[in-house]
Structure 1
Amino acid sequence: MTHGQPDELHIEQTGDQDAGTPDGQESVYQEQKVSWLELFFDLIFVVAFDQLAKRLGQSPEAAAVLHFCLLFVAVWWAWAGNATFAARYGNETRVYRWGTLAQLVSLAMIALTLRGDLSDTGAAFALAYGASRIIQAGMYAAVARRGPGGIDFAGRMTLSFGLVAALWLVSALLQSGSGTQIGLWCAALVLDVLTPVVIRHHSHDALPHEGHLPERVGLLQIIALGAIVTEIVAGSRQQDLDANNLIPALAAIVTSVALWRLYFDQARSLPLLGARVDHRVGVMLAWLYGHLPFTLAVVVLGVGLGHGLSAAGTAKAAGDQRMVGASLALALLTLAFLRWNSLRVTGQFFPDRSVPALLLGTGLAAGLLLIDLDTRGVHLAVAGLTVLVALISATDPVTQRMGRLEERVLEQLEEGNQPDSVEDALDQLPDPHTADTSA
Structure 2
Amino acid sequence: MSTDTTVSPERGVSGADEREQAVTPLELFFDLVFVFAFTQVSSYLAHHLTWGGLARGAALLAVLWWAWVCYSWLTGAVDAEARLPARLVVLAAMAAMLLVALAVPDAFGDDAVLFGFAYVVVRLLHLALYTVVAPPETRSAVRRVAPGFLGGPALLVVAGFLDGPVQAALWGLAIAIDYGIVLVRGVDGFHVRAGHFVERHRLIMIIALGESLIAIGVGAEDLVLDLGVVLTALLGIVLVMAFWWLYFDYVVLAAEQRLAAEPPTGRAVLARDSYSYLHLPIVGSIIFVALGIEQTIAHAGDPLGVVPAVALCGGCGLYLFGHSAFKYRDHGTASVLRVVVGVVAVASVSVVVRIPAAASLASLTALFVGLVVYETVWSEHRNRLRVGDAKSS
- Does the pair score TM above 0.5? yes
Q: Which runs of 5+ in 2 are unaligned?
A: none
Q: Is the aligned partner of 1:397 residue 2:380? A: yes
Question: Which residue of the other structure, out of 104, 109, 115, is the alignment partner of 2:94?
Answer: 104
Q: Note the C-alpha offset of 1:182.
A: 3.8
Q: Is the aligned partner of 1:381 residue 2:363? A: yes
The corresponding residue for 2:335 is 355
Q: Is the aligned partner of 1:86 residue 2:75? A: yes
Question: Which residue of the other structure, out of 212, 233, 240, is the alignment partner of 1:256?
Answer: 240
Instruction: Give the secondary-structure state (helix, strand or coil) at the position aligned to 1:269.
Output: helix
5 Å-filtered alignment, 1:21-420, equals: 27-28=15-16, 30-94=19-83, 96-116=86-106, 118-143=108-133, 147=136, 149-172=137-160, 174-175=161-162, 177-200=163-186, 202-203=188-189, 206-265=190-249, 266=251, 267=253, 268-276=255-263, 279=266, 281-288=268-275, 289-314=277-302, 316-317=304-305, 319-344=307-332, 355-371=335-351, 372-395=354-377, 396-402=379-385
Cα distance in 1 for residues equivalent to 2:69 and 2:56: 20
CA RMSD, 1 decimal? 2.9
Cα distance in 1 for residues equivalent to 2:154 and 2:211: 33
Relative distance call for 1:337 and 1:405 in structure 2 (3 A) is: farther
The corresponding residue for 1:6 is none
Cα distance in 2 for residues equivalent to 1:154 and 1:15: 16
* Mapped contact 2:159–2:171 kept (Cα < 8 A): yes
CA deviations on 1:106-135 (whole Å, 9 max, x unpaired) are 100001100126221111101111111111
Cα distance in 2 for residues equivalent to 1:55 and 1:244: 26
Cα distance in 1 for residues equivalent to 2:166 and 2:131: 30
Identity of aligned residues (%): 23
Q: Note the C-alpha offset of 1:402.
A: 3.9
Paired AA for residue 386 in structure 1? F
Relative distance call for 1:101 and 1:332 in structure 2 (3 A) is: same
* Mapped contact 2:192–2:264 kept (Cα < 8 A): no
More helix by share: 2
Cα distance in 1 for residues equivalent to 2:350 and 2:168: 33
Paired AA for residue 302 in structure 1? A
* Mapped contact 1:317–1:375 kept (Cα < 8 A): no
Instruction: Give the secondary-structure state (helix, strand or coil) at the position aligned to 1:163.
Output: helix
Instruction: Give the secondary-structure state (helix, strand or coil) at the position aligned to 1:324.
Output: helix
Query: Which portions of structure 1, spanning 4 or more consecutive aligned residues, are displaced by more than 6 angstroms?
Result: 404-408
* Mapped contact 2:293–2:361 kept (Cα < 8 A): yes
TM-score, normalization: structure 1? 0.79
Q: Note the C-alpha offset of 1:96.
A: 4.0
* Mapped contact 1:10–1:32 kept (Cα < 8 A): no
